Structure 1
Amino acid sequence: MRDRQVARGARRAREFAAFVAGASGRLLHAATLLTAEAPEANPRARRLLTLALSHTYARWDQLHGEDPYECARQHLATRFARATWHRYGAFGRTRPDPRSPLAALTPQERLILVLRLYEGVAEEQAAALLGLPVERVHTVCDRATATLLHPARPAGPRAVGAEVAPS
């Protein structure tokens, strides 16, 4: 009996280690995009990843054919949303690192954009995961994409004498 438990535990550890080896890089990148930290300095993203992986490990035996990556991604996204909501109120603005490619977006825009475009999650699934209407997910994703594709130009100093006389 004891030998069987030891063997089962060793097999579980090997399976999980193989999963982590294959999925942790992509999950860390997704977490880094969510937190809008610089890739080389991302302690919040690493914490999110650690929490998602530990949650997945705790549920490993109950997954029964479910995709462990999906489990980890869901936990990562909901943990980010919950932490952002509680820390900053209703997806309030954090101070993203200007080196982050998603620094111009709000946390909600980052979350939806990462789920939809980076992770390839369908609108309906993202809406169900976040508890939002599908139309809201669509609108936020469109707005975030437009913000990234057409960033606002910083207001620069005006040239002296560059004003146009009325005709």
Structure 2
Amino acid sequence: MRERHASQEARRARDFEAFVAGAAGRLLHAATLLTAETPDDNPRARRLLTLALAETYASWDRLRGDDPYDRTRQQLATRFAREAWHRHGTFGRQRRDRGGILAGLSPRERLMLVLRLYEGVTEEQTGALLGLPAERVRAICARAVATLLHPPPRPAPAVPVAKVAPS
């Protein structure tokens, strides 16, 4: 009995390791886009991915034909949304410049854009995941794309004033 259990655990671990080897790079990139961090400095993205993978591993035996990548992506998205809500008290309006390519977008806009354009999730699936109608997902994505294509002007850098020597 113990040998059979140990064998099942070893197989489970091998299967999960194979999944992580194939999917972790793409999922980390998605998490990095979500957090608006740079690829070489992304501790929040790595933490989000680690927690999502831990959740997937915990439910590995219950997947029963479900796609582990899809499950992990859902965990990543919901954890990101929850964290953005708790961190800022809002999910849709807060913008923080961290240096990533999507830094000018709100957390909600980043989430919609990553799911729709990077991950190829349909509007209906994205809406169902976040509790929004597909039309709202479409509008948020359109606004995010418009913001990326035509970013608001940044303030001009301050010009140092030349000191005049007294005469």
TM value normalised by structure 1:
0.90
State whether residues 105 and 144 of structure 1, in contact with CA within 8 Å, keep that contact through their aligned partners in structure 2: yes
How many residues align structurally?
A: 156
Q: Does 1:93 align with 2:68?
A: no
Q: CA deviation at 1:153?
A: 2.7
Unaligned runs of 5+ in 2: 158-167
Amino acid at match of 1:47: R
Unaligned runs of 5+ in 1: 158-167
State whether residues 35 and 96 of structure 1, in contact with CA within 8 Å, keep that contact through their aligned partners in structure 2: no
Q: CA deviation at 1:93?
A: 1.7
- Output aligned runs, 1:1-167, within 5 Å: 1-91=1-91, 92-98=93-99, 100-156=100-156
What is the CA–CA distance in structure 2 between the aligned matches of 1:107 and 1:62, rounded to whole Å? 31
Q: CA deviation at 1:132?
A: 1.0
Q: CA deviation at 1:39?
A: 0.8
Secondary structure in 1 matching 2:84: helix
Secondary structure in 1 matching 2:87: helix
Which stretches of structure 1, 4 residues or longer, exceed 4 Å deviation after superposition? none
RMSD value, Cα: 1.2
What is the CA–CA distance in structure 1 between the aligned matches of 2:7 and 2:75, rounded to whole Å? 28
What is the CA–CA distance in structure 2 between the aligned matches of 1:154 and 1:96, rounded to whole Å? 12
TM value normalised by structure 2:
0.90
What is the CA–CA distance in structure 2 between the aligned matches of 1:96 and 1:9, rounded to whole Å? 44
- Measured against aligned partners, the alpha-carbon deviations of 1:10-29 in whole angstroms (never above 9, x if no partner) come to 00000000000000000000
Q: CA deviation at 1:149?
A: 1.2
User: Once the two structures are aligned, what percentage of the paired residues are identical?
Assistant: 67
State whether residues 30 and 118 of structure 1, in contact with CA within 8 Å, keep that contact through their aligned partners in structure 2: yes
1:161 maps to what in 2?
Answer: none
Q: CA deviation at 1:87?
A: 1.3
